[in-house]
Structure 1
Amino acid sequence: PHDPDGEEGSEGMRKYGQAILAKKLDEDGDFPLSTEEFLADHGDEPVRLNHEEVVSVAEVFEHVDDEELEDIVAFHRAVGQAMRAAGMWEVEPENYA
């Protein structure tokens, strides 16, 4: 995937992980969401994980087990679990409690 903060920029500020993925959704019109259709539309697009690493949407979704996500909350839960399982999640809440 290309660097989302490269020549095209990222609307003035970097956006990371789930924020990038959620921005691709219309909460009212896209749910229930077929993960297969989402990948067909966005699989090659970049997701910045940190200041050095960029992966594709497809790489994140390799770890999402659900074929359909009912709403935005289910989307965030599935993607968050997938990113944690794949070692793509750097912030652990227990470190900030």
Structure 2
Amino acid sequence: MLTSLYRHGDVFLQATLPPTGPLHLAPHLTLAHGGTTGHAHRIAETHAAHLYDGSGPHRYLHVTAAHATLTHEEHAPIRLPAGWYRVWRQREYTPVAVRVVLD
């Protein structure tokens, strides 16, 4: 089985089955904020998706419309088809700690 993966700067999305654990609906559609520029990875169409915080570091995006557009000021937009996606930030190793990469 092939899994659809999307990379949008330092944000990764993986098509997945609906999560089974507890989810908390986020009041926005911002997947991640850039730490150095203040820019954000967000869904452009407010009616097209819901963002959920799961247990642990992952978020889940549920695209409920035929598609949703992931935007960011420094990256080309990505059109995501309907479905569930696990969302996470890229990490990097340093001798001090593993840390989240900031766009």
Tell me whether the two structures share a fold, i.e. TM-score over 0.5.
Answer: no
Task: Tell me which interval the TM-score lies in, with the shorter structure as reference length.
Answer: under 0.3
TM-score by length of 1: 0.27
TM-score by length of 2: 0.26
Q: Indicate the structure with greater strand content.
A: 2
